[in-house]
A and B are shown apart, each in its own frame.
Chain A
Amino acid sequence: MVAARSSSFFTETNPAPLALRAAGLGKTIDERSVLRSIELSVAAGEFVAILGINGAGKTTLLKILATLMPPSSGQLQLFGLDVPRHAAQARARLGLIGHQSMLYRDLTARENLELFARLYGVQAPRRRAEELLSIVGMIDRADDAVKTFSRGMCQRVSIARALVHQPDLVLADEPFAGLDVPGAAAVERLLSDLHAAGKTIVMVNHDVLQSLRLAERVIVLGAGTVAIDRPARVADAPGILAELAGSDARFQPGEMVVR
Chain B
Amino acid sequence: MALFADLSTPIVMGILLGGLYAVIALGLSLVFGVVKEMNVAHGDLVILGSYFGYAGMTIVGIDPILSLIIGMPILFGLGFAIQKYLLNRAFRISMDATLMMAFGISIITQNTCQLVWTPFPRGLTTPYALKSFNIGPMRFPLVYLLDFIVAIAVMLFLRELLRRTYLGMAIRAAAQDRKAAHLMGINTDQVFALTFAIALAFAAIAGVFLGLTFPFTPISGMPFLIIALGVVVLGGLGSIVGTFIGGIAFGLAQTLGGHFFGVAAQMLVAYTMVLVVLAVIPRGIFGR
A and B: interacting chains: no
